[in-house]
Amino acid sequence: MKKIKYILIGMLFMSASSVMGQNLVDGLRYSDYRIQGTARSAAMGNAFGALGGDFTSASINPAGLGIYRSGEFVFTPSFGKTNVDATYMGQLTNDSKYNLSVPNIGYVATFGNNGDMGKSMVSFNVGFGYNRMNDFNVRKMVEATGATSSMLDQFVLNADGKSYSNLDPYYEKLASYNGSTGANLIYFQDGDPNKIYAHDMQKFPYSDTLTNFPHNQRKSFSQKGSIDEYLISMAANFNYKFYLGATIGFQNVNYEESTSLHESDPNNAGTQQDIPYFNNYSFDTYLHTTGTGVNVKIGAIYKPTEELRLGVALHSPTFYRLHDNFDNSMYSSLTLDNGPQSFEAHSPIADYYYDLQTPMKAIFSAAYVFQKKAIVSLDYEYVDYSTIKLTNGGNNYDFFNENQDIKSAYKAVGNIHVGVEYRLTDGFSLRGGYESYPSPFNSYAFGSNQPNSGITNSTVSGGIGFRQGGFFFDAAYKHAMNDNYTEVYSGSDQAKFSATKDRLIMTFGFRF
């Protein structure tokens, strides 16, 4: 696949990729998990690596299933809103999106808890279900007036010296015109394939294009989809002191992204008094990625005392087989010598298969129970994002350049999860949590400082729990915060996106 490095720099977390190529942006998107499981786990910052006794632990430290002493079924619906404030060229815009989902369903069965499994093994538990590992639903927009650069500037540079047949059919070829198709925004002067101009419709040289005419810009981003982990988990309890567990996780990826960049004459009259001959254009992209992956998680929990629990877990890479379906379109409105005209162009619809290997993950955990009234839990996750690897592309493409970019751009981080719980009565509990996700970006890459290197994602949460007999109900509220910077297009000013994600999570559970 073609490497288009200029668009890679500055992409992070929520940023939509304008390039329909497989690159470091895709690698991070499917490797950077933000687990959504039960409401109890969410309220306590997902700090369940040593605590266990919750279905979410099957995706964190599967030894936690060994804590169960009875069977359980849980069902978790969630409702939330993502709000994004964007600052671009000094102008603030806002967009938001609501989302309703079911991020968790789980079933745990216990065997041998009556003591008939021997002197050492007290019980053996198995779990089936799924947890949501990431949610992509977001919508955002940037808008500015007085822009003096254009996405077409880069198109012109990329097209310079190339014949029409050699232009990129997903980018520069859409903006050109061959007499019957194309947006007619860049063209070959006097039939010379080595002389490319832009915007001026065969009237002005490239130096007299939108660069010299302040104009309006607007770009919208829409993403939706998720990564869900369907799992089979098992754990053993040895003398209520030592727990071992393993999970086989089957990931399902469904990601959909669309963007639309619109540049326009602020007067939109198409006369010599504003931008000559130019009214507006739109450049639209669409990407749909689906795929499956598999990983293995193993873990252990040890209780040196009745109050203290120590946990360790190791997650293998997730081995994905992914499929991209993508296309681009371009539309323009121009006022030529013979009057207003509209032009459009559509790229081919492309299909591409490739493999992705995510980083391994190590989790170290500790939890302390105070007289069965209060719990404090801490998880530390170590992940090296520079080990993300793309492989097995179409036509035996080896992704060598893209993997070198990944090594240059990303680094190892330590994610932190903290949770507390206080039991007011035997049936009612209060909970709180905090999560911190440092930036996976190196401070310097590709010959420049990376503005996203100092960014940290964080989440604060709280919740309640109610238990009566074999039924329990948990509720959690999570507030996630994230800032990131990205180019709207190559050569544009950096846009700052400040996102908040608020989510209400409820778990209905039955023990038997």
Q: What is the pLDDT of residues 272-295, one digit of tens each?
A: 446 777 889 999 999 999 999 999
Q: What is the mean pLDDT of residues 15-39?
A: 78
Please say whether the beta carbons of 68 and 111 come within 8 A: no
Q: What is the mean pLDDT of residues 237-249?
A: 96
Q: Are residues 205 and 220 in the same domain?
A: no
Joined tokens for residue 357:
């290997």
Note the pLDDT of residue 29.
94
Strand, coil or helix: 55: helix
Question: CB under 8 Å to 166, separation ≥6 — which residues?
Answer: none
Note the pLDDT tens digit of each residue in 94-143: 999 999 999 999 999 999 866 555 578 999 999 999 999 999 999 999 99
Q: Are residues 427 and 296 in the same domain?
A: yes
Q: What is the mean pLDDT of residues 341-367?
A: 96
Note the pLDDT of residue 139.
96
Could you give the percent of the chain with pLDDT greater than 90?
71
Distances (CA, A) of 470 to 54, 69, 74, 112, 509: 15, 13, 12, 20, 8
Q: Are residues 487 and 462 in the same domain?
A: yes
Q: Are residues 120 and 240 in the same domain?
A: yes
Residue 17 pLDDT > 70, yes or no? no
Rounded-to-integer distance, Cα 466 and Cα 468, Å: 7
Most confident by average pLDDT, 210-214, 223-227, 370-374: 223-227
Q: Select the more confidently predicted residue: 109 or 16.
A: 109
Note the pLDDT of residue 114.
60
Residue 234 pLDDT > 90, yes or no? yes
Distances (CA, A) of 308 to 234, 302, 334, 366: 23, 8, 72, 7
Q: Are residues 158 and 300 in the same domain?
A: no
Residue 4 pLDDT > 90, yes or no? no
Residue 241 pLDDT > 80, yes or no? yes
With DSSP H G I counted as helix, E B as strand and the rest as coil, what are the percentages for the chain, rounded to 5?
Answer: 15, 55, 30
Strand, coil or helix: 91: strand
Q: Are residues 225 and 116 in the same domain?
A: yes
Q: Are residues 338 and 471 in the same domain?
A: yes
Q: Are residues 155 and 204 in the same domain?
A: yes
Joined tokens for residue 459:
């989440």
Note the pLDDT tens digit of each residue in 394-417: 888 999 999 999 999 999 999 999
Strand, coil or helix: 419: strand
Note the pLDDT of residue 492.
87
Note the pLDDT of residue 156.
81
For the residues of 218-287, what is the DSSP string, one character each?
EEEEEEEEEEEEEEEEEEEEETTTEEEEEEEEEEEEEEEEEEEEEEE-SS---STTSSTTEEEEEEEEEE
Question: CB under 8 Å to 181, separation ≥6 — which residues?
Answer: 345
Q: Are residues 144 and 155 in the same domain?
A: no
- The 8-class DSSP code of residue 441 comes to B
The band of 196, judged by pLDDT with boundaries at 50, 70 and 90, is very low
Please say whether the beta carbons of 440 and 411 come within 8 A: yes
Strand, coil or helix: 277: coil
Q: Are residues 166 and 203 in the same domain?
A: yes
Q: Are residues 169 and 278 in the same domain?
A: no
Q: Residue 100 class from Cβ within 10 Å (0-12 exposed, 13-18 middle, 19+ buried)?
A: exposed
Q: pTM higher than 0.75, yes or no?
A: yes
**Region of poorest pLDDT, from 2-6, 30-34, 232-236, 351-355:** 2-6
| CA-based nearest residue to 280, from 333, 329, 331 | 333
Question: Buried b vs exposed e over 467-487: b needs ≥16 C-beta within 10 Å?
Answer: beeeebebbbbbebebbbbbb
Note the pLDDT of residue 202.
37
Domain boundary at 168, 196, 212, which?
212
Note the pLDDT tens digit of each residue in 133-166: 999 999 999 999 988 888 988 888 888 777 788 8
Question: CB under 8 Å to 57, separation ≥6 — which residues?
Answer: 41, 48, 49, 51, 63, 64, 65, 67
Rounded-to-integer distance, Cα 491 and Cα 124, Å: 59
Rounded-to-integer distance, Cα 157 and Cα 163, Å: 13
Please say whether the beta carbons of 102 and 75 come within 8 A: yes
Cross-strand pairs, 132: 36, 228
> Which H or E run contains 154?
helix 151-159
Note the pLDDT of residue 136.
95
Question: CB under 8 Å to 223, separation ≥6 — which residues?
Answer: 14, 16, 136, 137, 138, 139, 255, 256, 257
Q: What is the mean pLDDT of residues 308-330?
A: 97
Q: Residue 231 class from Cβ within 10 Å (0-12 exposed, 13-18 middle, 19+ buried)?
A: buried
**Region of poorest pLDDT, from 296-300, 315-319, 330-334, 415-419:** 330-334
Q: Are residues 89 and 185 in the same domain?
A: no
Note the pLDDT of residue 116.
57
Note the pLDDT tens digit of each residue in 459-489: 999 999 999 999 999 999 999 999 999 889 8
The band of 201, judged by pLDDT with boundaries at 50, 70 and 90, is very low
Note the pLDDT of residue 274.
66
Q: What is the CATH number of the domain that holds 75?
A: 2.40.160.60
Most confident by average pLDDT, 8-17, 105-114, 239-248, 388-397: 239-248
Total structural domains within the chain:
2
Strand, coil or helix: 29: helix
Domain that holds residue 53: 5-148+213-511
Cross-strand pairs, 97: 82
- The 8-class DSSP code of residue 167 comes to S
Q: Select the more confidently predicted residue: 322 or 446.
A: 322
Domain boundary at 189, 212, 235, which?
212
Domain boundary at 179, 212, 245, which?
212
Residue 2 pLDDT > 70, yes or no? no
Joined tokens for residue 53:
């006794």
